């Protein structure tokens, strides 16, 4: 602190808040007392850390706490200069410096400086900042007080609601020796080949992949003791940054090495019930669509390393042909109601144990069904007439009953790896019980039961009660909301957090645009903006972009789709109850999900995608019909959905636009929706619709600010 000149201080000044010119990190104010008048010296009698007021903690500050474990480790990858996709143009230098303290106004009556904090906006989980203050702390520098000049106008600025001054570097263990290539070793030759087949020969790991390779890949030379040590990790990085490959590579390599070592399977124990499936690894995902895509991706990675991957999704597990709905009804007695689809029962083939599943990808509810038996939670209410003894009243009483149809099809004893993908969803209040009970049942099946409470109320004040699962546990997420943070802090305080520097920001290649509702028909506004997208594509002679539209409610999805179809814009509407979701494939997302070249319809061989010589390709291009707007009449270029499809799905680079037409529920939801475009270094744009002027524009203004603050 600069020495103060007591002569310069106002005579009646007793206490003041002063800004320290050089202060320890986090120390931003100190209270000083002037002992005499005129003062001979200034003494700091108390100093406090500036913390946020109760109940309004900026969530990035929380993230610092959450990601900085009490006894575990946080490691953050530096942005790679060389890393063109997905983080090609970011360096650590680009990160915003620590926020300046709020400006202070000298109050002549009280004779002291006050911090000016704009009125709190309950709906805005961020701290508003005023920037542009040029006034310095005259008091500390010994200069005369100057009344605040009308000076420059202060422009309100919002700090990233999920990332306020979180300097990942400062809180992380320094990261050294991160791999900058996919090489063998540490990865197996076959896996490296597959990675190059998928991403190209020059592919480089993204930051989160580099961290995963460094920490999760066990070298072939690892001792049996090292292999037997179970570890827990959280992989946290922004959308489209390659988390799937980050966890699949180490997991698949470990499974293959265990197979080569001929590690005995627990399911071979004759005392355990015989099951059709005994996977060694389980990936849990929140939707069937994501399960299918992830299992397809795992299969791509296993092109040169043979392991068996299975996706158990809604209706794509083999059916037991001879069981019909009517037989099922017989089996259920007279009480069958609701769903009688048993197509997901897996046939117990003779010798099934000899062709075991290595990796199973599924949703928590499907997994519960597979190891508990179909219908385990099928509470059928049967009404029974019961005549009350007083003889005059007749009432129906509902009796809940539980059914177990058929044998469980899956054994859990062999599971060595569990990945909880989109962990923030799977540990949110809706899913967490199912997820935790799966983890507990696997532990029990492996002979190490762990405590499990079905009703769990988490609070930040809870003491950690670590759970050591007898398997490797990987949690992955692009966002760390409070529910996940509380869960991790309570049950996995020592888990190692691996994070990318762009966590809680939009991908750097994703542009944002605010669209102003005209005040007329909103569907017409959306149509207008869609046509502008395609008009611009036609001007540049580009293929017409696909557009993903997110609404908040299913009804809105259906109505908008109908309107667009009437206007000659073919669209696909997808809601959670949509019929097309009941089929056992992702065909309802055709044209929108990423398809790798060798998977594309018409490609000749899985190994050798047909590559046309350049002149030939050019000739074909010029001979082709000129593109017109008519294309959008017949082939859907628009998919309308709710947050259902906002998680994890890898959309095609053709999805260049995401429209957010209803106000996002929160910024976490916004990050996931917007992140369906601009993936893996591809260009993309998110268009946020809102009213920008007049009555009702306040909400949109807040959203605009929050979105602006998420920009990379
Ligand atoms: N090292 C890499 N270089 C270039 N592209 C990559 C790399 N790794 C993965 N990709 C591609 O990036 C895309 C996004 O990957 P992925 O779906 O795993 O992202 P994610 O981080 O899981 O996203 P989300 O949080 O939305 O689930 C995929 O198409 C994948 O093939």
Q: How many CB atoms lie within 10 A of CB 225?
A: 7
Helix spans in 519-676 (H): 522-539, 554-566, 614-623, 631-634, 667-674
CA 48 vs CA 29, 116, 580, 611: distances in Å: 6, 17, 59, 66
pLDDT in tens, 217-257: 987 777 878 877 899 999 999 999 999 999 999 999 999 99
The answer to whether the beta carbons of residues 552 and 661 sit under 8 Å apart is: no
pLDDT value of residue 80: 47
Which residue CA neighbors atom 25 of ligand 1 most closely?
A: 239
- Evaluate: CB of 655 within 6 angstroms of ligand 1: no
pLDDT value of residue 672: 96
pLDDT in tens, 201-220: 999 999 999 999 999 998 77
pLDDT value of residue 656: 95
- ipTM attached to this prediction: 0.99
Higher pLDDT, 82 or 522: 522
Residue with tokens 């998680």: 647
**CA-based nearest residue to 137, from 4, 293, 302, 260:** 4
pLDDT in tens, 348-383: 444 444 457 899 999 998 999 888 877 666 543 334
pLDDT value of residue 326: 47
Average pLDDT, the chain: 72
510-578+632-709 — its CATH code? 3.40.50.300
- Evaluate: CB of 85 within 6 angstroms of ligand 1: yes
Mutate to test the pocket of ligand 1, among 182, 210, 240, 655 (most ligand atoms within 8 A of CB): 240
The mean per-residue pLDDT over the stretch 441-456 comes to 89
pLDDT value of residue 72: 64
pLDDT value of residue 381: 36
The answer to whether the beta carbons of residues 305 and 441 sit under 8 Å apart is: no
pLDDT value of residue 519: 86
pLDDT value of residue 625: 64
Between 329-338, 496-505, 618-627, the lowest mean confidence (pLDDT) is in 329-338
Positive/negative CA dihedral, 428, 429, 430, 433: positive
684 phi/psi in degrees, rounded to 5: -165, 165
The answer to whether the beta carbons of residues 400 and 378 sit under 8 Å apart is: no
Tokens of 85: 């996709």
pLDDT value of residue 191: 96
pLDDT in tens, 257-278: 988 888 778 777 788 887 878 9
**Does residue 170 come out as left (phi exceeding 0), alpha (psi in the -120 to 50 range) or beta?**
alpha
Q: DSSP string spanning 314-329?
A: TTTSPP-TT--HHHHH
Which residue CA neighbors atom 23 of ligand 1 most closely?
A: 240
> Any long-range contacts for 489-492 (C-beta under 8 Å, 24+ apart)?
489/66, 489/69, 489/70, 489/460, 489/462, 489/464, 490/458, 490/462, 490/463, 490/464, 490/465, 491/464, 491/465, 491/466, 491/467, 492/72, 492/232, 492/234, 492/466, 492/467
The answer to whether the beta carbons of residues 140 and 19 sit under 8 Å apart is: yes
The mean per-residue pLDDT over the stretch 384-413 comes to 56
Burial grade of 134 (CB within 10 A; 0-12, 13-18, 19 or more): exposed
Alpha-carbon gap, residue 282 to 233, rounded angstroms = 15
Tokens of 586: 């992702």
- Evaluate: CB of 87 within 6 angstroms of ligand 1: no
pLDDT at residue 40 above 90?
no
Alpha-carbon gap, residue 443 to 418, rounded angstroms = 11
Domain boundaries, the chain: 159-265+275-314+355-375+407-501, 510-578+632-709
Alpha-carbon gap, residue 474 to 216, rounded angstroms = 10
Cβ contacts of 17 within 8 Å, gap of 6 or more: 29, 30, 31, 104, 112, 113, 114, 115
Higher pLDDT, 663 or 454: 663
pLDDT band at residue 662 using 50, 70 and 90 as cut-offs:
very high
- Helix (H), strand (E) at residue 380: strand 380-387
pLDDT band at residue 54 using 50, 70 and 90 as cut-offs:
very low
- Evaluate: CB of 199 within 6 angstroms of ligand 1: yes
Helix spans in 542-666 (H): 554-566, 614-623, 631-634
- Evaluate: CB of 419 within 6 angstroms of ligand 1: no
CA 307 vs CA 281, 302, 681: distances in Å: 11, 7, 30
Burial grade of 351 (CB within 10 A; 0-12, 13-18, 19 or more): exposed
% of the chain residues with pLDDT over 90 = 38
The mean per-residue pLDDT over the stretch 114-139 comes to 27
Based on C-alpha coordinates, what's the Rg of the chain? 30
Give 238 Cα–ligand 1 centroid separation in angstroms: 10
Give 207 Cα–ligand 1 centroid separation in angstroms: 11
Q: How many CB atoms lie within 10 A of CB 56?
A: 14
Q: Which CATH superfamily is domain 159-265+275-314+355-375+407-501 in?
A: P-loop containing nucleotide triphosphate hydrolases (3.40.50.300)
pLDDT value of residue 272: 82
Alpha-carbon gap, residue 612 to 603, rounded angstroms = 12
Cβ contacts of 358 within 8 Å, gap of 6 or more: 255, 259, 279, 280, 281, 307, 308, 309
Q: How many CB atoms lie within 10 A of CB 127?
A: 22
pLDDT band at residue 512 using 50, 70 and 90 as cut-offs:
very high
Angle of CA points 39, 41, 43, to nearest 5°: 115
- Evaluate: CB of 245 within 6 angstroms of ligand 1: yes
Which residue CA neighbors atom 30 of ligand 1 most closely?
A: 242
Cβ contacts of 232 within 8 Å, gap of 6 or more: 469, 472, 473, 474, 492, 494, 495, 496
Cα of first residue to Cα of last residue in the chain, in angstroms, is 34
Alpha-carbon gap, residue 316 to 366, rounded angstroms = 11
Cβ contacts of 184 within 8 Å, gap of 6 or more: 191, 192
- Evaluate: CB of 645 within 6 angstroms of ligand 1: no
pLDDT band at residue 167 using 50, 70 and 90 as cut-offs:
very low
The mean per-residue pLDDT over the stretch 476-504 comes to 88
The minimum-distance atom of ligand 1 relative to the CA of 478 is 25
Angle of CA points 79, 85, 90, to nearest 5°: 35
Return the top range by mean pLDDT from 42-51, 212-221, 657-666, 696-705.
657-666
% of the chain residues with pLDDT over 70 = 61
- Evaluate: CB of 478 within 6 angstroms of ligand 1: yes
**CA-based nearest residue to 252, from 290, 198, 301, 186:** 301
Q: What's the length of the chain?
A: 712
- Helix (H), strand (E) at residue 299: helix 288-301
pLDDT value of residue 515: 94
pLDDT value of residue 210: 94
The mean per-residue pLDDT over the stretch 291-317 comes to 86
- Evaluate: CB of 678 within 6 angstroms of ligand 1: no
């Amino acid at each position: 602190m600069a020495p103060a000149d007591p002569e310069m201080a106002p005579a009646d000044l007793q206490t003041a808040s002063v800004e320290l010119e050089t202060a320890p990190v986090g120390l931003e104010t100190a209270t000083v007392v002037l002992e005499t008048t005129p003062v001979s010296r200034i003494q700091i009698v108390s100093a406090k850390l500036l913390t946020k007021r109760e109940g309004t903690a900026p969530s990035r500050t929380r993230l610092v706490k959450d990601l900085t474990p009490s006894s575990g480790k946080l490691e953050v990858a530096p942005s790679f200069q060389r890393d063109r996709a997905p983080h090609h143009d970011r360096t650590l230098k680009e990160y915003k410096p620590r926020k300046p303290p709020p400006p202070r106004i000298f109050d002549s009556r009280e004779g002291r400086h006050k911090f000016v904090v704009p009125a709190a906006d309950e709906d805005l989980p961020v701290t508003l900042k005023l920037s542009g203050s040029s006034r310095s702390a005259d008091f500390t520098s010994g200069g005369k007080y100057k009344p605040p000049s009308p000076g420059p106008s202060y422009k309100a600025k919002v700090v990233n609601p999920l990332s306020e001054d979180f300097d990942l570097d400062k809180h992380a263990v320094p990261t050294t020796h991160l791999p900058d290539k996919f090489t063998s070793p540490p990865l197996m030759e076959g896996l490296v080949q597959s990675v190059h087949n998928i991403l190209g020969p020059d592919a480089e790991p993204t930051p989160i992949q580099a961290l995963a390779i460094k920490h999760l890949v066990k070298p072939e030379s690892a001792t049996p003791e090292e292999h037997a040590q179970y570890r827990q990790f959280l992989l946290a990085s922004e959308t489209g940054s390659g988390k799937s490959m980050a966890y699949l590579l180490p997991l698949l390599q470990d499974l293959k090495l265990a197979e080569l070592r001929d590690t005995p399977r627990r399911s071979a124990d004759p005392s355990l019930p015989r099951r059709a499936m005994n996977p060694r690894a389980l990936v849990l995902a929140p939707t069937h669509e994501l399960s299918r895509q992830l299992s397809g991706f795992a299969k791509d990675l296993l092109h040169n390393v043979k392991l068996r991957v299975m996706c158990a999704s809604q209706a794509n597990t083999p059916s037991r042909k001879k069981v019909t709905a009517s037989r099922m009804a017989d089996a259920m007695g007279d009480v069958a109601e609701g769903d009688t689809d048993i197509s997901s029962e897996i046939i117990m083939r003779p010798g099934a144990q000899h062709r075991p599943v290595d990796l199973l990808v599924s949703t928590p509810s499907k997994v519960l069904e597979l190891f508990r038996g179909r219908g385990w939670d099928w509470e059928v209410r049967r009404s029974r007439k019961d005549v009350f003894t007083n003889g005059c009243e007749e009432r129906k009483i509902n009796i809940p009953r539980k059914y177990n149809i058929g044998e469980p099809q899956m054994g859990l004893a062999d599971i060595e790896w569990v990945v909880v993908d989109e962990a923030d969803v799977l540990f949110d209040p809706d899913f967490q019980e199912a997820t935790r009970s799966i983890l507990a049942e696997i532990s029990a099946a492996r002979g190490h039961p762990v405590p499990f409470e079905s009703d769990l109320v988490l609070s930040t004040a809870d003491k950690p009660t670590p759970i050591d699962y007898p398997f490797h546990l990987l949690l992955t997420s692009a966002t760390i909301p409070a529910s996940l943070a509380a869960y991790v802090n309570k049950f996995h305080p020592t888990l190692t957090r691996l994070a990318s520097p762009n966590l809680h920001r939009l991908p750097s290649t994703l542009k944002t645009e605010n669209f102003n509702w005209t005040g007329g028909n909103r569907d017409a506004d959306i149509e207008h903006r869609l046509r502008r997208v395609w008009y611009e594509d036609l001007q540049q002679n580009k293929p017409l972009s696909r557009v993903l539209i997110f609404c908040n409610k299913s009804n809105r999805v259906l109505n908008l789709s109908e309107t667009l179809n009437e206007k000659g814009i073919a669209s696909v509407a997808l809601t959670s109850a949509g019929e097309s979701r009941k089929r056992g494939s992702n065909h309802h997302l055709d044209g929108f999900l990423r398809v790798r070249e060798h998977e594309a319809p018409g490609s000749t061989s899985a190994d050798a995608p047909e590559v046309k010589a350049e002149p030939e390709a050019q000739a074909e291009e010029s001979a082709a019909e000129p593109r017109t707007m008519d294309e959008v009449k017949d082939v859907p270029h628009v998919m309308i959905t709710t947050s259902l499809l906002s998680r994890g799905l890898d959309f095609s680079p053709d999805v260049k636009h995401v429209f957010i037409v209803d106000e996002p529920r929160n910024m976490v939801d916004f990050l996931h929706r917007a992140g369906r475009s601009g993936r893996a270094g591809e260009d993309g744009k998110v268009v946020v619709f809102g009213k920008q002027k007049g009555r009702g524009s306040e909400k949109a203004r807040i959203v605009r600010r929050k979105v602006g603050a998420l920009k990379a």
